[in-house]
Structure 1
Amino acid sequence: MNMQSECFQIEAEMPWEDLGNGIQRQVFGYNDQVMLVKAKFEVGAIGTLHEHHHTQVTYVDSGIFEMTIGIEQKIIRKGDGFYVPPHTIHGCVCIAAGTLIDAFSPARQDFLE
């Protein structure tokens, strides 16, 4: 499937998708091969442990999170980041409200449905 976002994404003009349980998502630029996504977490929100075939790289824009990747767990905060290889179990618990900036390859088509 050939898909592509508009060339510019203006934050104030883009909708947030309410995922429930204190998590919201905002999809930014993408094509078939790459996608940028913002995920906003309230204190106590849980990014349930999961896995997917996408490679994921994430930057912590704000907040504090207890992050689990495979069997490793670390506290990460503003300025930190993490890498998740394909098919690796991962998830987080939000300790202080914040936003994660995720890049996926290939794009998460399921986020557009």
Structure 2
Amino acid sequence: MNNPTWLTVGEGVQRRILAYGPELMLVKVAFETGGIGARHHHVHSQITYVESGVFRCTVGEQEQVLRAGDTFYAAPHVWHGVECLEASVLLDSFSPMREDFV
């Protein structure tokens, strides 16, 4: 299922669901410079691919700067978040799907 609608989810942050089924979801997230993906945790496994731009990313206690082509994994219940250093796009995959997003 593809949803072409962008949803504003924070200042300078928009999200669009690309596809999902019960066990997997793919979401595109666009950030303006300075946009924040606030630290949070959830029951889902998450793999994120940096499609473009630059982020400061924190997963658990580890912080690193990620650029286009980089990825990170956030295990269930692990705190994680990002700060956009340069206008960017992320592709987030979740397992199982994020029911709270639909």
Higher strand share: 2
Find the counterpart in structure 2 of residue 77 from structure 1.
67
Pick from 83, 89, 98: which aligns with 1:99?
A: 89
Equivalent pairs, count: 102
Tell me the residue number matched to 1:66: 56
4+ residue stretches of structure 1 with deviation over 4 A? Answer: none
1:53-106 deviation line (CA, Å, top 9, x unaligned)? 000001000010000000000000000001110000000100000000010000
How many percent identity over aligned positions? 45
Which residue identity is paired with 2:66? I
Q: TM-score, normalised by structure 1?
A: 0.88
RMSD: 1.0
Unmatched segments (≥5 aa) in structure 2: none
The 1-side partners of 2:60 and 2:17 are apart by 26
- Unpaired runs of 5+ in structure 1? none
Structure 2: distance between partners of 1:36 and 1:20? 19
